[in-house]
Amino acid sequence: MKTKAVRLYGKNDLRLEAFELPKIKDDEILAKVISDSICMSSYKAAQQGADHKRVPKDVATNPIIIGHEFCGELVEVGAKWEGQFKAGDKFAIQPAMNHPDNVYAAPGYSFPHIGGAATYIVIPAKVMERGCLLPYTGEAFYFGSLGEPMSCIVGGFNVNYHYVKPGSYEHAMGIVAGGNMALLAGVGPMGLGAIDFALHGPRQPGRLVVTDIDPARLARAASIYTVEEAKRCGVELVYLNTSGVADVVAELMKLSGGKGYNDVYVFAPVPAVVEQGDAILGYDGCLNFFAGPTDPAFAAKFNFYNVHYNLTHVAGNSGGTTEDLIEALEVMAAGKVNPSAMITHVGGLDAVIDTTLHLPKIPGGKKLIYTQISMPLTAIADFEKLGADNCVFAGLAKIVAAHNNLWCAEAEKFLLANAACI
């Protein structure tokens, strides 16, 4: 089976190539990739090359396929797995394998024949043995792609912890139900997903404060997740533009009722934001450093006086567990959480290299790639303008307009059926 894929050879060395996949073994599966969303982690892998913890040292001579947020259909199932899977099944992948042979190894970073930026892939035995191939029953493929980033959010909510009661060393996992929660720099794609999960997930805070310095991004978030909707969910939702606030910590403390926050999430690897988060923690407050820094030496100050007297603490998670991904897929399939707000751009396989290498400079949220088509990376906001000269974009503009200008299953189906006309 011939595939077309974007492969990493070294620092900033990505190549779109066609090559022959090996015939699958009895413990492997051949699959067709339909959608892949581009993650900042792929940008970091491209920047660092063999210096990245998940990228093999010999990547220059044994390149890997990038992309780890992907969804598609199974094509051929090896004999070992015929009782569990069949050709035609939709699938999602949990890239965080935590394999005992190499805890860093992951699809999209470490393997020559599996990654999201490809038309066809071979799912190896290591992925299968760890239970990282997951059935996906949703209508839209992009939901399956966004299952992985949503699983990171689910994991972020699950990994926080608090004392069961004062004077006890026993901890309870998860956010404080009915408590104060702050999402700092929280209207990027992952922050939007966190707002959604905070409002519609299994456990809600009583008060949710979301900050950023970009008024346009804050306005978009507020139009998607409204204060009124939050109220119906039992949550007091406040959006705060901190760019015009003289004393951010004082304002955030005021919004908490002076008590501080039980759960604080930091969505930007910026020391000042981390230190803001530390300063607003309440008693037994947990700061979750969610943002993954590019700089391996990234550091920020933390108040250890409060660690001692107020029992404040830090958590973090690099990806979700398989259980987190299962939960993410379930809440999306049930219609409780809709990750569509994360997506601001759509493109084809030919857009992957340029998008990945310049990802921090491209405004907006998630960049969704459909690997079976050719299409330049295109902002959803530009569909209407482009539709003046192209009937496909005109059709897409009409569809998303009916869905609050968000990507949707109908738009995906229309694009896949008509992409050849772009």
Residue 94, classified by CB atoms within 10 Å of its CB into exposed (0-12), middle (13-18) or buried (19+), is buried
Kindly state whether residue 336 falls inside one of the protein's structural domains. Answer: no
CA separation, residue 271 to residues 335, 348, 357 (Å): 36, 36, 24
CA-based nearest residue to 351, from 367, 383, 372, 375: 375
Is residue 112 located within the same domain as residue 212? no
Q: Give the residue numbers spanning the domain of 281.
A: 160-315
Q: Are 141 and 53 in contact (CB under 8 A)?
A: no
Residue 309 inside a domain? The answer is yes
Residues 34 and 129 in one domain: yes
Contacts of 140 (CB under 8 A, 6+ apart): 408, 409, 412, 413
Considering the domain architecture, whether residues 164 and 310 belong to the same structural domain is answered as: yes
Does 325 reside within a domain?
A: no
CB atoms within 10 A of CB 265: 29
Asked whether residue 307 falls in the same domain as residue 191, the answer is yes
CATH of the domain at 98: 3.90.180.10
Nearest residue to 96 via CA among 108, 84, 85: 108
Q: What CATH number is attached to the domain comprising 171?
A: 3.40.50.720
Q: How many domains are contained in the chain?
A: 3
CA 7 – CA 5 distance, rounded (Å): 6
Distance between CA 251 and CA 281 in Å, rounded?
A: 13
Clarify whether residues 173 and 76 are in a common domain: no
Nearest CA to 289 among 315, 254, 270?
Answer: 315
**Encoded tokens for 377:** 């990376």
- Residue 62: phi, psi to the nearest 5? -130, 80
Count the neighbouring beta carbons within 10 Å of the beta carbon of residue 61. 7
CB 28 within 8 A of CB 124: yes
DSSP states along 231-267 = HHTT-EEEEEEGGG-S-HHHHHHHHTTTS-EEEEEE-
Q: Does residue 339 belong to any structural domain of this protein?
A: no
CA dist 138 and 141 (Å) reads 7
163 forms beta bridges with 171
**Do residues 169 and 243 both lie within one domain?**
yes
Does residue 211 lie in a domain region?
yes
Instruction: Give the Cα separation of 420 and 344 in Å (integer).
Output: 21
**Whole-prediction pTM:** 0.89
Residues 118, 26 share a domain: yes
Q: Is 332 helix (H, G, I), strand (E, B) or coil?
A: helix
Q: What's the rounded Cα separation, in Å, for the pair 388 and 392?
A: 10
In a domain, 248, yes or no: yes
d(CA 157, CA 149): 13
Are 190 and 107 in a shared domain? no
Could you tell me which of 125, 159, 116 has the C-alpha nearest to residue 320?
159
Question: Does residue 99 contact residue 105 with C-beta atoms inside 8 Å?
Answer: yes
Domain match, 271 and 359 both: no
Mapping DSSP to helix (H, G, I), strand (E, B) and coil, where does residue 241 land? strand
Look at residue 326 and tell me if it is in a domain: no
If asked whether residues 131 and 252 sit together in one domain, one would say: no
Residue 62 within any structural domain of the chain: yes
Last residue of a domain, one of 299, 315, 331: 315
- The pLDDT tens digits along the chain (422 residues) read 999 999 999 999 999 999 999 999 999 999 999 999 999 999 999 999 999 999 999 999 999 999 999 999 999 999 999 999 999 999 999 998 989 999 999 999 999 999 999 999 999 999 999 999 999 988 899 999 999 999 999 999 999 999 998 888 999 999 999 999 999 999 999 999 999 999 999 999 999 999 999 999 999 999 999 999 999 999 999 999 999 899 999 999 999 999 999 999 999 999 999 999 999 999 999 999 999 887 889 999 999 999 999 999 999 987 888 999 999 999 998 889 999 999 999 999 999 999 999 999 999 999 999 999 999 999 999 999 999 999 999 999 999 999 999 999 999 999 999 999 99
Q: Is 404 left (phi over 0), alpha (psi -120 to 50) or beta?
A: left
Rounded to 5 degrees, φ, ψ at 239 are: -100, 135
Residues 195 and 303 placed together within one structural domain of the fold: yes
User: Is the distance from CB of 90 to CB of 32 less than 8 angstroms?
Assistant: no
pLDDT digits over 134-149, tens only?
Answer: 999 888 999 999 999 9
Same domain for 191 and 52: no
3-state helix, strand, coil in the chain (%, to 5): 35, 25, 40
- Residue 334's pLDDT is 87
Strands 29-38 and 70-77: antiparallel
